Structure 1
Amino acid sequence: MGLLVGLVAGFAIGAAMYRREMRRMARFLRDRPAESNARLGVEVPGGASRELARAINAQLDAIQSERIAAMAKTQEFQRDLSSLAHDVRTPLMGAQGHIQLAMEGTQPADGERHLTAALQRLDDMRGLLDQLFAYARANDPDRTLDLEPVAVQPLVAEVLVGHYPEFEERGWEPTVAFDDERFTLEADRTALRRIVDNLVTNALRHGAGAPAIAQHGDRVSFSNPISRKAAADIDPAKLFDRFYQADDSRGKRGSGLGLAVAQSLARAMRLRLTAELDHGRDAGEDRLVMTLEPSA
C-alpha cells in the first residue's frame, strides 16, 4: 500500500511539474517579442520537453530567417525606388532646363540646339519607360510563353543586322561562330530575341570592342572586351540585378534593367543565363562573358 501511495504521489508531482513547464513554455511564446532572439529553454528534465523545445526553437529560427529575408527585400526595393527616382528625374529636369533656355533665348540657333537637347532627354526617358514595361512583362506570372525549337544563329544574325549602324559608327565587326548552324533552343522566339538584343545592347553600351558570339554544345556565349577599369567595377554576381549599374554615379545611358529583363525571360523559359569575367594577361584583354544554356 505504501508503494502504491508513493507511485501515485510521484505521478501527481510529475504531472504538476509538466503542467507548470507547459504553462511556462506557453507564456514564453505568448510574451516573447516578435523581434526577440530569445530561444526556449528546458527547466524540467525529460526527453519529451527537450524535443518540444528543439522543435519550437527550429520554428523560431525559420521565422527569424524569413523576417531577415523580408527586411533585406524591403531595403533592396527601397534602394531600387531611389535609383528609379534618380533615373526618372534626371532626364526630365534636363529636358525642362533646355526648354526653358530655348524659350529665353534670342537666337533661333540657340533655341533649336536646346530643343534638340530636350528631345534627347525625353528620348532617354522613353527608353527607361520601355525597359520598365519590358521588366514588368518579363516578371508577369500570368504571361504565357510559346515554347518551341528556335534556330539561334539566324536569330542572332537578325539582331546584329538591326544594330548595324551602331557597329559601323564604332568601327566594330562582331563575329559569330556556331559549331552547329542548326542549333536550336527550346524557347519563345520573341522572348529569346529580346534576350539576345539586350545582351548585344549591353556590349555596345559598355564594351571596349566588337562582341563575339559562339555556340559550343548546348551553350551560346556572348563575349566582348572591356577595359580594366570596367572589369574592376563589375560584380558578376549582381550583374543581372534590377537597376544594377557598375558606375555608381549612374551617369551612363541605360536603366540597369536590360540584363534583369534578359535573366527573367531566361528563367521563364527554363534557360540559365550567367556572367563571368575572363581576365587576360595583357592590358585590354579582359572580357565579359555571358552564357545562355538550358537549365540542368
Structure 2
Amino acid sequence: MIYVTSAAVLLMFIFLLRLVWIKKEMRRISTQVERFYQGLSGKKVDIALLDKDIEALAGNINQLIDLAVQSNRDRIRSDIELRQAIANMSHDLRTPLTAIIGYTKLLGANSVTVEKREEYLSIIRATADRLHTLLHEFFELSLVQSADYQLKLEPVQINALLWEVLTGFYDQFVERRLEPELNITDEPLIAQADPSAVRRVFENLIGNVIRHATGKVAISLKQEEGNVVLIFRNEAANLSEQDVDHLFDRFYTADRSRSSRRTGLGLSIAYSLMSKMDGRLTAGLQDGCLEIRCGWNRS
C-alpha cells in the first residue's frame, strides 16, 4: 500500500500549477509572435512569468524580431534607392539622347550652312561621347558592386601611383585654372591594394575635384597612425551636411543645376573599390570645405 504524504501532495500541486503557468506563458508568447508575423503588431515579445529559460527564449525571439525589422528597413531603403537610381539613370540617358535626336533633325534641314553643320556634328559627337561614358560607368559600377568581383591585393607604392595619375590631369587643372596645393610625403608609403583599383579611385576623386572645386584645392598624402591616408580638400560653399552624407550614393547629385555634367557614379565606384580593398573612403565638411579621405592599411 502506497502512502502519499501531505508534503508530496503539495509538491505535486505546485509542480502542476507551474506547468499550467508555463503552458499559458508559451501560448501567450506564441500569440505575440503570430501577431508580429501577420503584421498586426510591431512590438517585441514580453513575458509575465519569471523563468530563466523562458526569458532566454523571449530574448532570442526578440533578437530575431530586431533582425526582421532591420531587414525590412534595408529592403525598403534599397527599393527606394533602386527606384531613384532608375529614375536618375533614365533622366541622364534621356538628356543626351534628346540632344542627339534634336541636332540630327537640324542637320536634315535644307537651310543649314556648312558652318552650322560642323557645329551640330561637333555637338552630336560630344554628346555621344558623354552617353558612352555614362553607360560605361553604369556597367562598371554594377560590376564592381557584384559579390563575384574580386581584387588582387599586393604591395603598392601609393606615392608613385598618385604622382603618375596627377600628371595625367595636368592639362585639366590648367584648363580649370586650378593650382592644387600638394603635400605628398617623400617617404615611400606601401599599402596592400589592387594597383588598377587604386588608379581608378585616384582618377575618380581627382576628376570630381576638377569638375566641382571652387577656389583652393589641397591634396595631401601621409602616414597617419600606421595607415596610408590620402586627403582631397576643396572649397564647397554650396554643399550641406545632407549632401555629404549621400555623396557616395549612386546617382546622387548635390548641385541639380549641373546634373547634365554629372553621373553621380564616379564617387560610388571609388567607394565600392575602396571597400573591396578593405580600405576606407569618407567625406566631411570642415569650415566650408569638402574633405574626402582615403585610407589603406600600410603594408
TM-score range, shorter chain: 0.7 to 0.9
Specify the alignment match of 1:143 in structure 2: 149
Q: Secondary structure, in 3 states, of the residue corresponding to 1:140?
A: coil
Specify the alignment match of 1:290 in structure 2: 292
What's the offset of the Cα at 1:31?
5.0
1:119 counterpart = 2:119: no
CA contact (8 A) 2:253 2:259 kept: no
1:76 counterpart = 2:76: no
Q: Secondary structure, in 3 states, of the residue corresponding to 1:23?
A: helix
- The alpha-carbon distance between structure 1 residues 105 and 246, as it changes in their structure 2 partners (threshold 3 A), is farther
- The alpha-carbon distance between structure 1 residues 23 and 98, as it changes in their structure 2 partners (threshold 3 A), is same
CA contact (8 A) 1:243 1:255 kept: yes
Q: Within 2, Cα distance between the matches of 1:206 and 1:58?
A: 45
2:22 maps to which of 12, 18, 24:
18
1:268 counterpart = 2:271: no
What's the offset of the Cα at 1:272?
1.6
Specify the alignment match of 2:160 in structure 1: 154
CA distances 1:181-220 after superposition (whole Å, capped 9, x unpaired): 5222222111111111111100110012463322222444
CA distances 1:71-115 after superposition (whole Å, capped 9, x unpaired): 122212221221111111111112112212222352233333333
Specify the alignment match of 2:199 in structure 1: 193
Q: Within 1, Cα distance between the matches of 2:192 and 2:118?
A: 50
Deviates more, 1:112-121 or 1:25-34: 25-34
- The one-letter amino acid of 1:156's match is L
- The one-letter amino acid of 2:97's match is L
How many residues are matched?
289
TM-score when normalising by structure 2: 0.83
Aligned 1:215-226 pairs, distance under 5 A: 215-217=221-223, 218-226=227-235
Deviates more, 1:44-53 or 1:205-214: 44-53
What's the offset of the Cα at 1:249?
4.7
- The alpha-carbon distance between structure 1 residues 295 and 2, as it changes in their structure 2 partners (threshold 3 A), is same
Q: Secondary structure, in 3 states, of the residue corresponding to 1:270?
A: coil
- The alpha-carbon distance between structure 1 residues 207 and 191, as it changes in their structure 2 partners (threshold 3 A), is same
Q: List runs of 5+ in structure 2 lacking aligned partners.
A: none
Q: List runs of 5+ in structure 1 lacking aligned partners.
A: 280-285
Deviates more, 1:35-44 or 1:60-69: 35-44
Specify the alignment match of 1:95 in structure 2: 100
Q: Within 2, Cα distance between the matches of 1:291 and 1:224?
A: 9
Q: Within 1, Cα distance between the matches of 2:189 and 2:50?
A: 67
Using the aligned pairs only, state the percent identity: 30
